Amino acid sequence: MLIASSHHSQYFHLIWVSLLFLFRSQSVCAVSKAMGYCKAPCVFLLCLFISFCLPRQLLADEVDKNLTAQLFIDASEQSSRPIPQTLFGIFFEEINHAGAGGLWAELVSNRGFEAGGANIPSNIDPWSIIGDESSIIVSTDRSSCFERNKVALKMEVLCNTDGTHICPSGGVGIYNPGFWGMNIEQGKSYKIVFYVRSTGAIDISVSFTSSDGLQTLSSTNIKASASDVSNWTKMEVLLEAKETNHNSRLQLTTSKNGVVWFDQVSAMPLDTYKGHGFRNELAEMLADIKPRFIRFPGGCFVEGEWLRNAFRWKASVGPWEERPGHFGDVWMYWTDDGLGYFEFLQLAEDLGALPIWVFNNGISHNDQVDTSSVLPFVQEALDGIEFARGDASSTWGSVRAAMGHPEPFDLKYVAIGNEDCGKKNYRGNYLKFYDAIKRTYPDIKIITNCDGSSLPLDHPTDLYDFHVYTSANNLFSMSHKFDRTTRQGPKAFVSEYAVTGKDAGTGSLLAALAEAAFLIGLEKNSDVVHMASYAPLFVNSNDRRWNPDAIVFNSFQVYGTPSYWVQRFFTESSGATLLNATLQKDSSNSLVASAITWKNSEDGQTYIRIKVVNFGSNSVNLQISVDGLDPNSVKLSGSTKTTLTSANLMDENSFKEPKKVAPNQTLLEDAQEMSALLRPHSFTSFDLLKESVSLRITEDDSSLVSSI
């Protein structure tokens, strides 16, 4: 706490006298004296703002006065411009088990027994057997009733409840541990669905248990006569958990002799995000970013190492039981494709975001379709657009309608391929897709893989894709990357950016600060950059294929890395108004800053938000000046300061300390509480509330009255 000295008092007295002088000087303005007020010049607000913003630390003798900077903000309408409504969003790729075992709330891994391949016998991993070979024999065959996924599990039970070979206590059967343990919580209900057939009557126990099977969390029995299950039959039960266990498993057991087949075994919590199958706490992390778009489903996931393993949207729609699933050979794991094309479109709608569909253009990492043969792939893309946008009576629109969404989705953007620019057939294939889509859907915005930020493109497009993964210093310097980009022609979509390598760890403060500076640069260049998204979005801590990531989770925990928290600083930028903000620095080149005005939809108030990154190792004394505001209509009050920093540049969050590096917000109730002393290695945001105000001077000018 700094004690006010005599020179402090003299300083504030001087400000007050200056303000009175300015108001008196305006008493001669051409305004009716009967009104009792007149407009003060903009310099009045400037002085008022400086007096508001100057912190007590500025007056302290111990501050190093050489480390100073000035931020000049022109808030006039003439120098401001609107930021695109779509500027900041999210990019989802099926990587790190982001969807399967993550955002998609399905608890069963390899629910259709297809992960081991179409040939039998096959591997049923992670399913395991309860009981020894004398009591049970488990195998796979191709007897399923689903044409696109024929593999089913066959269970021969050799023991019984009586006779010479009695089953062990609890019976024999199979269990599934899910994705590194199922999170089963007391009081919550779970819907279990599976298909079964048998040569005789069945008596099957469906249970959630601990990982060793010793603790039963919930259980029920399903009994059916031989005639009821002689053909494939769908069974559904609800299990309500009596206890909590974060490392649970699902068991199907019996003590009844006979042969039983299982297929398409699913376990889903009833409580999912907006009832659409998304894991609540993960979807809420996305909602808190307020994304204006979601790019999906990849990424390299779209391409595949080989085309035969690329994501195919038609195989991911329709009833979940009929989806064949596929092996993602880039990130090397199986997905049942419960999180399919329809679900991505639904997620975008649930988040209030525009969907951006990335589809394969006939090119993978290792093989590609010749342009002369690419038309079937073009038709695949056209069919996909019809699925999203077509009338419920159209061929593919009717499939969407049958899935419960008769109204079209708001698909306005598509990306032709991912990171394929420069490959032999990309340009030729791209033009085939471009012409066909524009001919049928002229309003759809098309995104090319080729970077147009430095040189003109040799093909038509609406937006060009820009990806950058680099060191912290490089990304910080790239805050000016688009300063010199031509303002003519297609706009930039920075769909993948992040600090990687040793600077990033698994999500460091250092990485986040560089990314914050880069985003400020994109915000200031939003006349040419129309979209931006971090990558990757999610990582299951049990399967880190890529570091770092924005959101880290396991079966029951979740936290945001510092990079995630940086994105929270930009939640109000899309659709806001960019103000002209200029930094003048004496000795520090470590600062990057921007300013916007935005309207809070919750309280209806308008704010000025000033964001500043201090990338250096010294504190910086920041003086802020604002010009171009009418003092008769604006008052600055009710402000907040939010800072992201930590004791060490390489500090990270964890399950143990999920908010070790997280924003800290303080309320600035008066000028004395607001500080513009920027801490080393920090990201600071000032939200300044603009309120309507009428300033009035009495007839003798002896006092100043403010009435809101």
Query: Angle formed by the axes of helices 395-402 and 375-389, to 10°?
Result: 50
The answer to whether position 118 is within a domain reads no
Q: Determine the pLDDT at residue 558.
A: 98
Pairing mode of beta strands 677-678, 664-668: unpaired
CA pair distance 146, 323, nearest whole angstrom = 9
Q: Determine the pLDDT at residue 628.
A: 81
Cβ pair 643, 23 in contact under 8 A: no
CATH code for position 490: 3.20.20.80
The answer to whether position 441 is within a domain reads yes
Q: Residue 602: which residues within 8 A CB-CB, separation 6 or more? A: none
Identify which has the larger pLDDT, 212 or 163. 212
Q: Residue 327: which residues within 8 A CB-CB, separation 6 or more? A: 115, 309, 333, 334, 335
Q: Determine the pLDDT at residue 636.
A: 57
Question: Distance of CA 561 to CAs 161, 415, 470, 552, 571, Å?
Answer: 53, 28, 18, 7, 16
Question: Distance of CA 4 to CAs 9, 264, 677, Å?
Answer: 7, 73, 18
Cβ pair 321, 330 in contact under 8 A: no
Q: Which of 512, 529, 558 is the last residue of a domain?
A: 558
Residue 673 pLDDT exceeds 80: no
CATH code for position 179: 2.60.120.260
Same-domain pairing of 590 and 624: yes
Residue 15 pLDDT exceeds 90: no
The answer to whether position 292 is within a domain reads yes
Same-domain pairing of 524 and 411: yes
CA pair distance 361, 68, nearest whole angstrom = 52
Q: Determine the pLDDT at residue 634.
A: 47
Q: Residue 331: which residues within 8 A CB-CB, separation 6 or more? A: 94, 95, 96, 300, 301, 545
Dump pLDDT digits (tens) for 636-656.
Answer: 566 889 999 999 999 999 999
Same-domain pairing of 419 and 345: yes
Same-domain pairing of 423 and 514: yes
Same-domain pairing of 372 and 419: yes
Place 369 in a pLDDT band, splitting at 50, 70 and 90: very high
Residue 656: give the domain boundaries: 67-83+579-690
Dump pLDDT digits (tens) for 522-558.
Answer: 999 999 999 999 999 999 999 999 999 999 999 999 9
Dump pLDDT digits (tens) for 286-337.
Answer: 999 999 999 999 999 999 999 999 999 999 999 999 999 999 999 999 999 9
Question: Distance of CA 254 to CAs 137, 148, 166, 172, Å?
Answer: 13, 29, 12, 6
Q: Determine the pLDDT at residue 240.
A: 98
CA pair distance 4, 607, nearest whole angstrom = 30
What is the mean pLDDT of the segment spanning 418-427? Answer: 97
Same-domain pairing of 176 and 278: no
Place 669 in a pLDDT band, splitting at 50, 70 and 90: low
Residue 194 pLDDT exceeds 50: yes
Cβ pair 455, 493 in contact under 8 A: no
Residue 416 pLDDT exceeds 70: yes
Same-domain pairing of 406 and 331: yes
H or E element, residue 570: none
The answer to whether position 643 is within a domain reads yes
What is the mean pLDDT of the segment spanning 133-143? Answer: 97
Q: Residue 295: which residues within 8 A CB-CB, separation 6 or more? A: 89, 90, 91, 92, 356, 358, 415, 495, 533
The answer to whether position 114 is within a domain reads no
Dump pLDDT digits (tens) for 215-236.
Answer: 999 999 999 999 999 999 999 9
Q: Determine the pLDDT at residue 605.
A: 86
Same-domain pairing of 491 and 587: no
Q: Determine the pLDDT at residue 399.
A: 98
Q: Determine the pLDDT at residue 631.
A: 59
Question: How many structural domains comprise the chain?
Answer: 3
Same-domain pairing of 73 and 141: no
How far does CA 343 lie from the centroid of its chain? 15
Dump pLDDT digits (tens) for 346-358.
Answer: 999 999 999 999 9
Q: Determine the pLDDT at residue 448.
A: 98
Query: Which DSSP category does 160 fall into?
Result: B
What is the mean pLDDT of the segment spanning 415-426? Answer: 97
Same-domain pairing of 487 and 378: yes
CA pair distance 665, 641, nearest whole angstrom = 6
Same-domain pairing of 480 and 359: yes
Q: Which of 269, 295, 312 is the last residue of a domain?
A: 269
Top mean pLDDT of 29-43, 455-469, 667-681 is at 455-469
Q: Which of 249, 269, 289 is the last residue of a domain?
A: 269
Instruction: State the pTM of this model.
Output: 0.88
Q: Residue 495: which residues within 8 A CB-CB, separation 6 or more? A: 91, 295, 415, 447, 465, 466, 467, 531, 532, 533, 535
Q: Determine the pLDDT at residue 601.
A: 82
Q: How many helices (H) and strands (E) does the chain have?
A: 11, 36
Identify which has the larger pLDDT, 7 or 492. 492
Pairing mode of beta strands 445-448, 463-470: parallel
Average pLDDT, the chain: 88
CATH code for position 605: 2.60.40.1180
Give percent above pLDDT 70 in the chain: 85
Residue 1 pLDDT exceeds 80: no
Same-domain pairing of 605 and 485: no
The answer to whether position 700 is within a domain reads no
The answer to whether position 638 is within a domain reads yes
Residue 668 pLDDT exceeds 80: no
What is the mean pLDDT of the segment spanning 360-384? Answer: 98
Residue 10 pLDDT exceeds 80: no
The answer to whether position 21 is within a domain reads no
